[in-house]
Structure 1
Amino acid sequence: MYKLVAIDMDETLLNDDAEITPKNVSVLKKAIKDGVKVVLNTGRSYLSVQENLKTLGIYQTKDQYVVSFNGGAIVENKDLKVVHVEGLAFDIVKQLFDISLRYYPESCIHVYTLDELYMWNVNQDEKDYLQPRGVEWTELQEPNIDFLKDTPITKIIININDMDKRLAFNEIARKEIGDKFKTTYSSGRYIEFNNISTDKGTGMLKLAEMLGIKPEETIAIGDNSNDLPMIEAAGVGVAVRNANEQVLSKADYICKRDNNHDAVAEAVDKFIYNKID
């Protein structure tokens, strides 16, 4: 019996209009009612998914959780209680910020603390992507983050739409800083940097351990490379049909449907309720 379902948000649970389809809502509400832990496991802040929690009926609910910042924080929905944090050292964040300024000055930079998102060089493309997803931010007035030196930082991400350039950024960063961080890629637009011991898989397993749930009793559903750690760590790793090739090659199950056509409902029906699509 599977007891926990960890679900990526963008391009997995959310359709291309940044909405949860009615079928996904109904199936997930049934699973929640039946005692399954439905956990949004996102690279974004837990603050940006509050409206989604309302849609699923677990907003401000005790003993329900969100894993956010690619595993950088676990937050109980009730009172937004942070129960676990894995941050990224400020000196590493500052070096990554400076590398972006030097090599990719046109790129938008996101720096996440536990409760704030600071962004530099916000362009219209980023606004169009983030606003429908409920993301709020503070725009930096100058390219300097020294004011965050004593503030815990959960991750830094850079918007670079070209994958070859994202890979090149990672090579530059590792040459200049060393292997002191974990790199993932998401949404066909971001390179993301977290604490070296942190990812969506470690976050999911940490929460499962806290809840007394075994790894083999978990399901993970995703589409992009930052979802791979949880897909590989789960009892069953599921790729939605629109997942990238890397995820498709590692998943235990590939949905017949994509994020616009109830893929999450398909996976939950199959593995929780043994329904054949």
Structure 2
Amino acid sequence: MEQKRFKCVFTDLDKTLLASGSILTDYTKETIDMLISRGIDFVPSSGRAFNSLPKELLKIQGLKYAVTSNGVSVNEIKSGTPVSTMRIPETALRQIVKIAAEHKVCTEIFVNGQGYCTREYWNDPTIAGKNISERKIYVQATRIPLDNYDSFVMNNIANTEAFDLIANPDIASELEIELRRKFSGVYITHSENFLIEISNIDSGKHRGMERCCRILGITPKECIAFGDASNDMEMIQMAGLGIAVANATPECKSAADFVSEFTNNQDAVAKELRRIFSL
């Protein structure tokens, strides 16, 4: 009955589908291939911008779409073209940029599916906080460093798809509360305790899932969703079956219908899909 009910799988990437180090294991790749051969769509649903998605994942034959930048865009994988996308309202973003500068926190801007940052932050992400050292490899692999970053931000204020603030967890937590209080017209979430991710009010992975489902001609209740963090919770709740991996945050686990006994480093998504679909 489960096999007939579910027609699509949406899954977060970092700390969910991918093992530590952004690794897509052979076991998981084989599982995705088997799933697609059964006619089940598989949609990566990430806080990452499209150009930051793992190239190895994008090479899998049969993948059609990806939900990116926390639901800002739904991209056609073959061409990379956004089927739908949205931007942060200019007035709100100008104020957020000013607040970030006042608090002296690092930021990242996303335009046309690509992330940009200052060269200083790109060289050493720990300038944003002592607990962010593990982010260096990811930042250097996915961001373009700019010497004229502040000018770039101002020149693209009307074209910004997403904007991140990065700081020590205690500062980030307080700043997120402040931003939520001041801005009701933007979507604010986080996938890490040092990160504040801001986008259009109509984004969120759950909204991206809705738009992708309309393209595929199905409903969210015909989908399975996997995640590990706060930015996955709404997607997990909207899906017909929402699953949190074992290493998920307590909040994410509470939003799920089911919590896997496996972590992302134990191929949690692949193992649960093989169980559900008898692969």
TM-score, normalised relative to structure 2: 0.88
Q: 1:30 aligns with which of 6, 29, 34?
A: 34
Matched residues in 2 for 1:116 and 1:132: separation?
Answer: 13
Matched residues in 2 for 1:3 and 1:109: separation?
Answer: 38
Question: Which residue matches 1:200?
Answer: 205
Identity %: 26
Whether contact under 8 Å (2:228, 2:248) holds in the other structure is yes
Question: Which residue matches 2:251?
Answer: 246
Question: Which residue matches 2:219?
Answer: 214
Shift of 1:89: 1.3
Q: Does 1:97 align with 2:97?
A: yes
Q: Does 1:147 align with 2:155?
A: yes
Runs (4 or more) in structure 1 with deviation over 6 Å come to none
Matched ranges for 1:163-242 at <5 A: 164-175=170-181, 177-242=182-247
Matched residues in 2 for 1:130 and 1:74: separation?
Answer: 27
Shift of 1:221: 0.4
Matched residues in 2 for 1:96 and 1:26: separation?
Answer: 43
- Structure 1 runs not aligned, ≥5 long: none
Matched residues in 2 for 1:174 and 1:132: separation?
Answer: 27
Residues 147, 251 of structure 1: CA spacing in aligned structure 2 closer, same or farther, 3 A cutoff? same
Residues 140, 272 of structure 1: CA spacing in aligned structure 2 closer, same or farther, 3 A cutoff? farther
Shift of 1:265: 0.8
Give the residue type in structure 1 aligned to 2:93.
V
Question: Which residue matches 2:266?
Answer: 261
Give the residue type in structure 2 aligned to 1:217.
E
Shift of 1:86: 2.2
Whether contact under 8 Å (2:125, 2:136) holds in the other structure is no
Matched residues in 1 for 2:82 and 2:146: separation?
Answer: 25
Matched residues in 1 for 2:233 and 2:88: separation?
Answer: 20
Whether contact under 8 Å (2:172, 2:193) holds in the other structure is no
Whether contact under 8 Å (1:2, 1:272) holds in the other structure is no
Matched residues in 2 for 1:142 and 1:203: separation?
Answer: 29
25-34 or 252-261, which deviates more: 25-34
Shift of 1:81: 2.0
Give the residue type in structure 1 aligned to 2:107.
I
Residues 222, 102 of structure 1: CA spacing in aligned structure 2 closer, same or farther, 3 A cutoff? same
Matched residues in 2 for 1:259 and 1:174: separation?
Answer: 30
Shift of 1:190: 0.9
Instruction: Give the total of aligned pairs.
Output: 265
Matched ranges for 1:111-126 at <5 A: 111-120=109-118, 121-122=120-121, 123-125=124-126
TM-score, normalised relative to structure 1: 0.88
Shift of 1:127: 7.8
CA RMSD across the alignment = 2.0
Q: 1:89-142: per-residue Cα shift (whole Å, max 9, x none)?
A: 122222212211112x1x320111123322135134468525347413232435
